[in-house]
Amino acid sequence: MRKIAANYIFPVTATPLKNGIIVLDEKNYIVDIIDTKGQFKEIQNLEFYSGVIIPGFIDVFTLLSISSFSKNDFKKCLQDDFGSALKKSLLKKETTPTAVQRGINQLEAYGTVAAADYFTVNDHAEQKRKSKLYFSDSNAAESNCSLQIPISNKQLNPTQSILLNQMILEKLNGFIPAASEMSRYCIGTGSLGTHLKLSVFDELKALQEILPALTFWELIKWGTINGAKHLQIENKFGSLEIGKKPGLNLLTNLDYSNQKFNTASELKVLV
């Protein structure tokens, strides 16, 4: 058993636990979450970290094998029918199989535990199978991406998830998240052509600067449980709950008084 504590444990599906403790078994499944009511006591073999412990991130939009897809390509797809525009663009791109492992390495290094991978040629399944990540595969040549982009006057489907990242918000002047849609916003990165790093955490910090009214508690949900629900894997990932194996990320250098990320905020993968 491994016992891990921090200033705050954020289950995501429940309120943060001050000086909470997570107990993991030998396979890193959560077997207990202890609410100390903030009254921390020393326990044998307890690991204590300064910061906030959250579940591993969920990236709902990656293009591991199409690094030829650039930031400009992505922005051209930001229109009413995002799924159709994306499909047409991807089918024109050459696949870049040598970029796949780099992308996998980055996702793992930056705390992502599950990702949706869109491709036109499925020639990298074995690489993904050997990784530590859970992948939800989607052949973009056969079907359109179901994620919505909130950039037009077109009314959004109330049951579909909404993709957000820095590139999208750069095009949305004055975007204000709707309270009724907070549970549907998800974070997706893209390809190594759109990003130097495939990091959900970097996206959250960038969104914090663009959307200063939001707390880091709200943004963390976008990068965890919301994405897990979109991929229909919330029974395994996206929150800290007994029986799950969601991974553990430690966030440090946070602005606790204002509940914000800042440029100094850092990520460490614990599990």
Delimit the domains of the chain by residue range: 2-55+239-269, 58-230
Give the residues across from 139 on adjacent strands: 119
Helices and strands (H, E) in the chain, number of each type: 8, 12
Sort strands 266-269 and 30-34 into parallel, antiparallel or unpaired.
unpaired
Rounded to whole angstroms, the Cα distance separating 266 from 262 reads: 9
pLDDT, one tens digit per residue, over 75-108 is 999 987 899 999 999 999 999 999 999 999 999 9
Backbone region of residue 244 per phi and psi (left: phi > 0; alpha: psi in -120 to 50; beta: other values): beta
pLDDT, one tens digit per residue, over 115-165 is 999 999 999 999 999 999 999 999 998 999 999 999 766 788 999 999 999
pLDDT, one tens digit per residue, over 183-193 is 999 999 999 99
Rounded to whole angstroms, the Cα distance separating 185 from 150 reads: 10
Closest CA to 13 of 262, 228, 178, 259: 228
How high is the mean pLDDT of the chain? 96
In this predicted structure, what is the pLDDT of residue 44? 85
Give the residues across from 12 on adjacent strands: none
Check residues 47 and 43 and name the one with the higher pLDDT.
47
Rounded to whole angstroms, the Cα distance separating 51 from 150 reads: 33
Rounded to an integer, the average pLDDT of 49-66 is 98
Q: Strands, E, within 160-212: which ranges?
A: 162-164, 185-187
Q: Could you tell me the pLDDT band of residue 216, with boundaries at 50, 70 and 90?
A: very high
Please tell me whether residue 6 adopts helix, strand or coil conformation: strand
Rounded to whole angstroms, the Cα distance separating 19 from 144 reads: 44
Rounded to an integer, the average pLDDT of 160-189 is 94
In this predicted structure, what is the pLDDT of residue 153? 66
Closest CA to 203 of 246, 164, 247: 164
pLDDT, one tens digit per residue, over 189-214 is 999 999 999 999 999 999 999 999 99
In this predicted structure, what is the pLDDT of residue 152? 64
Superfamily of domain 2-55+239-269, CATH level 4: Urease, subunit C, domain 1 (2.30.40.10)
In this predicted structure, what is the pLDDT of residue 118? 97
Distances (CA, A) of 169 to 125, 136, 192, 210: 32, 25, 19, 8
Backbone region of residue 230 per phi and psi (left: phi > 0; alpha: psi in -120 to 50; beta: other values): alpha
Cα first-last separation, the chain? 13
Rounded to whole angstroms, the Cα distance separating 73 from 167 reads: 11
pLDDT of 10 > 70? The answer is: yes
Rounded to whole angstroms, the Cα distance separating 48 from 250 reads: 11
Tokens 């591993």 locate to 56
pLDDT of 7 > 80? The answer is: yes
